[in-house]
Amino acid sequence: MKDVVVAGGTGRTGRAIVQYLTYQPNVRVVAVISRKYAGLHMSSVINDLAYDIPIYKSCQEALGHVRPAVLVDFTEPGIAKEHFQLSVEQNINPILGTTGFTEDEIEHFKRLCVRYCCGAALIPNFSLGAFLMLQAVRFGAAFFQDAAVIDMYPPHKTEVPSGTSKQILFELKNYGTFSAKNLTSHSLRLAGVTAYQEVRFGGIGETVVISHDVSDRSCFGVGVALAIQKINHFNQLVTDLADLLC
Ligand SMILES: NC(=O)c1ccc[n+]([C@@H]2O[C@H](COP(=O)([O-])OP(=O)(O)OC[C@H]3O[C@@H](n4cnc5c(N)ncnc54)[C@H](OP(=O)(O)O)[C@@H]3O)[C@@H](O)[C@H]2O)c1
């Protein structure tokens, strides 16, 4: 049984993650971190939970009450960085779903993992669909010279392009031979959408479309639950969900 704290467990994604994790047999969510709901319990935020969970205003306060093996974070980059540092210092494996970090910040996370000999995950998309999409993208990159990466999210998502698009663009550059003008990125922000990612390859007389559409954020819980089980087998920063699934 792994005890887990979820930072941002009251947010749009965090709620779905917490709910999904409470139904997993090998995971126990022992605390949630949120400033707005601090002092309450998760049953006052979401209905369908396997058990109730206390909410604390900060990571420091939560760690004064519970001793988790893993800290899951779906917040924003500023506070997530602090959560990462605090976790590795206390030999707690951080699993970050939060996106929007700079290259320098990611390098800093890598160094912290080495310094504290602690496994951590920083995965921009924890869904199985996005994992499959990445495998297909790597394969397709070797055969086409034109590609467009498209993301579509609700208007509140300010990060452009999305963290998933950045990862796809990285993979396309790594596995393909695209010139700057033949590899483009397009972001739409539109009410009614949850999360949509697409890669469109263009060839001679044909196009190929690989897409992933999220209808329920609990799909992210699937990858998070797998990461929770595996992360203590690592002592570095894992950025590819494939390393946790395969
Ligand atoms: N990796 C993936 O699979 C995946 C999937 C979906 C989303 N995401 C990423 O997850 C992140 C969150 O997205 P979202 O749409 O769920 O955001 P959201 O609805 O705005 O939720 C953010 C959560 O973070 C908490 N938070 C923010 N600042 C905090 C602070 N200083 N201290 C403690 N808690 C804080 C908020 O609670 P309070 O305001 O009450 O503190 C809230 O619970 C984004 O970076 C998004 O890109 C990743």
Cβ atoms of 125 and 104 closer than 8 Å: no
Residue ranges in the chain whose pLDDT is less than 70: none
Residue recorded with tokens 């698009």: 165
> Is the entire prediction scored with pTM above 0.85?
yes
Which pLDDT does position 246 carry in this prediction?
78
Mutate to test the pocket of ligand 1, among 5, 13, 82, 159 (most ligand atoms within 8 A of CB): 13
Considering only CA atoms, give the Rg of the chain.
18
Which pLDDT does position 170 carry in this prediction?
95
SS3 of 166-196: HHHHHHHHHHCCCCHHHEEEEEEECCCCCEE
Residue recorded with tokens 């070797």: 142
Confirm or reject: Cβ of 123 under 6 Å from ligand 1.
yes
Ligand 1, atom 3: closest residue by C-alpha: 125
Confirm or reject: Cβ of 34 under 6 Å from ligand 1.
yes
Which atom of ligand 1 is nearest the CA belonging to 79?
31
Which pLDDT does position 233 carry in this prediction?
96
Handedness of CA 9, 11, 17, 21 (dihedral sign): positive
Tokens of 17: 């993650």
Confirm or reject: Cβ of 97 under 6 Å from ligand 1.
yes
Residue 63 CA to ligand 1 center (angstroms) comes to 19
Residue 50 CA to ligand 1 center (angstroms) comes to 22
By CB atoms closer than 10 A (0-12, 13-18, 19+), residue 141 is buried
Q: CB within 8 A of 201, min separation 6: which ones? A: 140, 143, 144, 146, 147, 207, 208, 209, 210
Residue 8 CA to ligand 1 center (angstroms) comes to 5
Ligand 1, atom 47: closest residue by C-alpha: 99
Mutate to test the pocket of ligand 1, among 35, 75, 219 (most ligand atoms within 8 A of CB): 75
CB atoms near residue 211 (< 10 Å)? 13
Cβ atoms of 62 and 5 closer than 8 Å: yes
Confirm or reject: Cβ of 42 under 6 Å from ligand 1.
no
Cβ atoms of 48 and 64 closer than 8 Å: no
- What domains are defined for the chain? 2-122+218-245 (3.40.50.720), 128-214 (3.30.360.10)
By CB atoms closer than 10 A (0-12, 13-18, 19+), residue 157 is middle
Which pLDDT does position 245 carry in this prediction?
87
Residue 230 CA to ligand 1 center (angstroms) comes to 23
CB atoms near residue 105 (< 10 Å)? 15
Which atom of ligand 1 is nearest the CA belonging to 36?
40
Ligand 1, atom 2: closest residue by C-alpha: 125
